[in-house]
Amino acid sequence: MNHPAGHKPLTILIAADTYPPNVNGAAQFGYRLARGMTKRGHDVHVLAPATESGASHTEAGGEWSVHRLRSHSTPTHEYWRICLPWEIRRDVSMLFDRIQPDVVHIQCHYMVGEYTLYEAVKRGIRVVATNHFMPENVNPFLPFPSWFKEIVAKNSWRDMGRVMGKADAVTTPTPLAAKAMHDHAFLRKVLPVSNGIDSSAYELKPGEDIEPHPHPTVLFVGRLAEEKHINVLIDAIAKTPVELNVHCEIVGGGEVKPALQAQAARLGLGGRVKFLGLASDEVLRIAYLRATLFCQPGTAELQSLVTLEAMSAYTPVLLADAMALPHLVDGGENGYLFPPNDSDQLAARITELLGLPSADLERMGKASRSMAEKHDINASLATFEALYYGALTEDLLAEYI
């Protein structure tokens, strides 16, 4: 294995506050980062909360080591678990003693990321910090009034700056997210590095023939959470012309699923809105390949890997004009933006696109694929590897936002 500037393989510790089997973008990135760095010849260790009650432990088997910290469930989230500082400090320190990491890569400024960073800084170990967080991601799980949530958000940004400001390098998936961290967390040097995607995984294999749906279908993939605004998509489906017979597939699980199912039934869409639940990689891949359009109505997306996956499958997209999503749309070329929470405009765009000749939709799908290929995961892995070695030039570092 060749490494930058002839460097030897590293022992890498990835600290993640959410990791599979959790289903969200940050968890998937942590998994793909571990897999990618392992394939590049490094000794990779992942540190994450345990998925159930019990002592800290190391999972058996696997291509890389996964170490689980004692954790506790939260009453407002179906799978999110928290680690308490006084319960994990010693275990984190003992893990450092055992594996002797060359570099630490934290994925969040919360407990696991924070105390792993503190241990690394104390030992003089290089730290890279990546942010996947927006305050809007946790708002639905805080049973407080809006004014109090604003205080929590302000404090969250402040804590992010305090923790990640100690890292040797700070990254986030998009330039827009980097600007938000600059403006709200007061981090002066944030490098936009795409989470990356393997586009080849979402195209037809040689000799493969996957039939499209018999009716136009709009696909959503993601956690069924308040900030995803899937209710807006369901409302929009109900507002499209009846003769178009527009269907919708929703892949994912989450706390608002019962409310969404009730909404679809109330609007008489029981036969046109299908909830697929949590899907395997292959089922998800086929859903992307069969869909006519992909829609992401969320308003707190730092990048949206699922949108990039859909684009890799040659699918036109309809995305809310919010956070990082505008970076994934070239208006009229691969899809359109619509005003956040505006089901009328979304319905109009769905109707407009489904009225186009198939050749135009095919052209837009090809444009989506071309845009997705710019987020090749190998380029992202190479950038992170260079950050681990401290091999990026001062000229590039000076371009941080």
Which is it for strands 65-69 and 43-49: parallel, antiparallel or unpaired? Answer: parallel
**Are residue 257 and residue 184 in the same domain, yes or no?**
no
Q: Are 364 and 316 in contact (CB under 8 A)?
A: yes
Kindly give the confidence (pLDDT) of every residue in the chain, 401 residues in length, as a single tens digit, with 9 standing for 90 and above.
445 545 799 999 999 999 998 878 888 899 999 999 999 999 999 999 999 999 999 998 899 999 999 999 887 667 778 899 999 999 999 999 999 999 999 998 889 999 999 999 999 999 999 998 876 655 555 555 665 567 766 878 888 999 999 999 999 988 888 888 898 888 988 999 988 888 888 988 888 888 889 999 999 999 898 889 999 999 999 999 999 999 999 999 888 999 999 999 999 998 999 999 988 889 999 999 999 999 999 988 878 889 999 999 999 999 999 888 998 999 889 999 999 999 999 999 999 999 999 999 999 999 999 999 988 899 899 999 999 999 775 455 545 44
**Of 375, 39, 33, 325, whose CA–CA distance to 197 is shortest?**
375
**Of 319, 317, 335, whose CA–CA distance to 229 is shortest?**
319
Domain extent at residue 110 = 4-196+376-397
**Are residue 160 and residue 133 in the same domain, yes or no?**
yes
**Are residue 30 and residue 69 in the same domain, yes or no?**
yes
Look up the pTM and report it.
Answer: 0.78
Question: Which residue in the block uniquely carries the two structure tokens 């995305």?
Answer: 319
Q: Are 113 and 106 in contact (CB under 8 A)?
A: yes
How many domains are contained in the chain?
2
Dihedral class, residue 279 (left if φ above 0, else alpha if ψ from -120 to 50, else beta):
beta
CA 226 distance to own-chain centroid: 16
**Are residue 354 and residue 236 in the same domain, yes or no?**
yes
What confidence score (pLDDT) does residue 401 get? 42
What confidence score (pLDDT) does residue 398 get? 47
What confidence score (pLDDT) does residue 138 get? 55
Q: Which two tokens stand for residue 124?
A: 């003089």
CA 37 distance to own-chain centroid: 18
**Are residue 231 and residue 186 in the same domain, yes or no?**
no
**Are residue 176 and residue 67 in the same domain, yes or no?**
yes
CA angle 208/212/217 to nearest 5° reads 145
In sequence order, what DSSP letters do the residues of 344-390 get, joined into one string?
A: HHHHHHHHHHHTS-HHHHHHHHHHHHHHHGGGBHHHHHHHHHHHHHT
**Are residue 130 and residue 213 in the same domain, yes or no?**
no
Which amino acid makes up residue 166? K
**Are residue 74 and residue 191 in the same domain, yes or no?**
yes
**Are residue 172 and residue 206 in the same domain, yes or no?**
no
**Are residue 185 and residue 320 in the same domain, yes or no?**
no
What confidence score (pLDDT) does residue 90 get? 96
**Are residue 241 and residue 158 in the same domain, yes or no?**
no
**Are residue 170 and residue 70 in the same domain, yes or no?**
yes
Q: What is the CATH number of the domain that holds 392?
A: 3.40.50.2000
Residue 233 sits at φ, ψ, to 5 deg, of -65, -45
